[in-house]
Structure 1
Amino acid sequence: MRICAYIATSLDDFIARMDGSLDWLPKPVEGGEDYGYGRFFASIDAIVMGRNTFDTVLSFGEWSYADKPMWVLSRRELELPAFVPQIVTRWSGSLTALVEELTLHRVKKVYVDGGKTIQSFLRAGLLDEITITTIPVLIGQGISLFGSLEADVKLKLIESRAFEDGLVQSCYAVVKG
């Protein structure tokens, strides 16, 4: 199983404003560049998302995760609106137990989303790959993608790509051991 993150940050390493707002992200353009997201999304079998990110997704009022099963990390109960398919499961156990659960479901590639969730998988040594799209904007303060780490995490660059609109995307393998 490969556990991968795919996320955007401001140039100063924030994934959202302090209030969770994403208003600094460029608006998608119909038929425009998707920065490889479509290809990435097609390659995954399941999604693991943090509760705050899930609540943000619900605020959009539509479901954009197709029929991919999703596990939401939360100690609180989930109330799913009608537009959310019944393939969303709340998970309050350990990440190691979740990986075992995903293995039982024959999941081969997992998309991990949400700052705290990515940090948790990284700290647990469970994240295999991270793709970061850097948006050329400084927002000054916000929620950091990585926060503080107890130890260095070595990364190996797999690929880096610059887009015409100034976005830069880098994909890294997490070096283990």
Structure 2
Amino acid sequence: MKENHVVTECAVFVGVSLDGFIARSNGDLDWLMGEGGGDSAEYGYNEFIADIDAIVMGRNTFEKVVTFSKWYYGNKRVVVLSNHPLDLSLSRTHGGVVEVMAGSPAAIVSKLAASGAGRLYVDGGITIQQFLRAGLVHRLIISRLPVLIGNGIPLFGSLQLDIRLNHIATRTYPGGMVQSEYRIVS
């Protein structure tokens, strides 16, 4: 009997300030919702999320997104990475399907693949950086907004080796947002 093998692809879809930050130092995203931010559906997010089996995010990102008036993940499976208990009740009020996992990025991907999740959306600064360092990210979609915030949480952190990228496409939008898509060179 042939073993059912799921090939897992990890993708990042993220907004950054022009100076490379995904949030202010305190986690605030007010700059993201301003001019040039608009409705994420206009910028390919709905098409992207439709092809995703599960979202993997860190605890800090989860604690931020549950404060939004809208749950942007629909009924997709959301896996929050944490070694500590979390209050998941707020996500349920939005209709979220959320669970907590702990472990290395490779262990998380392996567990999700074993459950049939072949396409993962990796979200949150620390989580994105950990998955990149582990060589698990395959695709990056980065939306650069026309705002400088001066300091905050960077999208990219230190790397032991260079990560080469193939440019797939770049799109510009009214308001000055520029969105680029890349594939990691294996």
Q: TM-score, normalised by structure 2?
A: 0.87
1:101 Cα deviation after fit: 1.1
Q: Give 2:174's aligned residue.
A: 164
Could you say if the C-alpha distance between residues 25 and 170 of structure 1 is closer, same or farther in structure 2, counting changes exceeding 3 Å?
A: same
1:112 Cα deviation after fit: 0.5
Could you say if the C-alpha distance between residues 137 and 95 of structure 1 is closer, same or farther in structure 2, counting changes exceeding 3 Å?
A: same
For 2:81 and 2:94, locate their aligned partners in 1 and report how far apart those are by CA, in whole Å.
16
Q: Is 1:22 aligned to 2:32, yes or no?
A: no
Deviation by residue 1:51-82 (Cα, 9 ceiling, x = unmatched): 10000011225433111111111111111124
For 2:13 and 2:96, locate their aligned partners in 1 and report how far apart those are by CA, in whole Å.
24
Could you say if the C-alpha distance between residues 138 and 86 of structure 1 is closer, same or farther in structure 2, counting changes exceeding 3 Å?
A: closer
Could you say if the C-alpha distance between residues 116 and 29 of structure 1 is closer, same or farther in structure 2, counting changes exceeding 3 Å?
A: closer
* Aligned residue runs from structure 1 range 126-145, under 5 A: 126-145=136-155
Aligned match of 1:173 in 170, 183, 186? Answer: 183
Could you say if the C-alpha distance between residues 172 and 151 of structure 1 is closer, same or farther in structure 2, counting changes exceeding 3 Å?
A: same
Secondary structure of the residue that 1:147 maps to in structure 2?
coil
* Aligned residue runs from structure 1 range 98-137, under 5 A: 98-137=108-147
Q: Is the 8 A contact 1:5 1:131 kept in 2?
A: yes
For 2:154 and 2:72, locate their aligned partners in 1 and report how far apart those are by CA, in whole Å.
25
Q: Is 1:57 aligned to 2:65, yes or no?
A: yes
Q: Give 1:148's aligned residue.
A: 158
For 2:44 and 2:83, locate their aligned partners in 1 and report how far apart those are by CA, in whole Å.
33
Q: Is 1:36 aligned to 2:33, yes or no?
A: no
Q: Give 1:45's aligned residue.
A: 53
Secondary structure of the residue that 1:19 maps to in structure 2?
coil
Q: Give 1:5's aligned residue.
A: 12
Q: Is the 8 A contact 2:168 2:182 kept in 1?
A: yes
Q: Is the 8 A contact 2:24 2:151 kept in 1?
A: yes
Q: Is 1:69 aligned to 2:77, yes or no?
A: yes
For 1:22 and 1:4, locate their aligned partners in 2 and report how far apart those are by CA, in whole Å.
21
For 1:84 and 1:24, locate their aligned partners in 2 and report how far apart those are by CA, in whole Å.
24
Alignment gaps of 5+ in structure 2? 1-7
Count, aligned residues? 175
1:43 Cα deviation after fit: 1.0
State the AA in 2 paired with 1:10: S
For 1:134 and 1:118, locate their aligned partners in 2 and report how far apart those are by CA, in whole Å.
16
Secondary structure of the residue that 2:33 maps to in structure 1?
coil
Identity of aligned residues (%): 46
1:86 Cα deviation after fit: 6.7
Q: Is the 8 A contact 2:10 2:137 kept in 1?
A: yes
Q: Is the 8 A contact 1:62 1:83 kept in 2?
A: no
Alignment gaps of 5+ in structure 1? none
Could you say if the C-alpha distance between residues 23 and 86 of structure 1 is closer, same or farther in structure 2, counting changes exceeding 3 Å?
A: closer
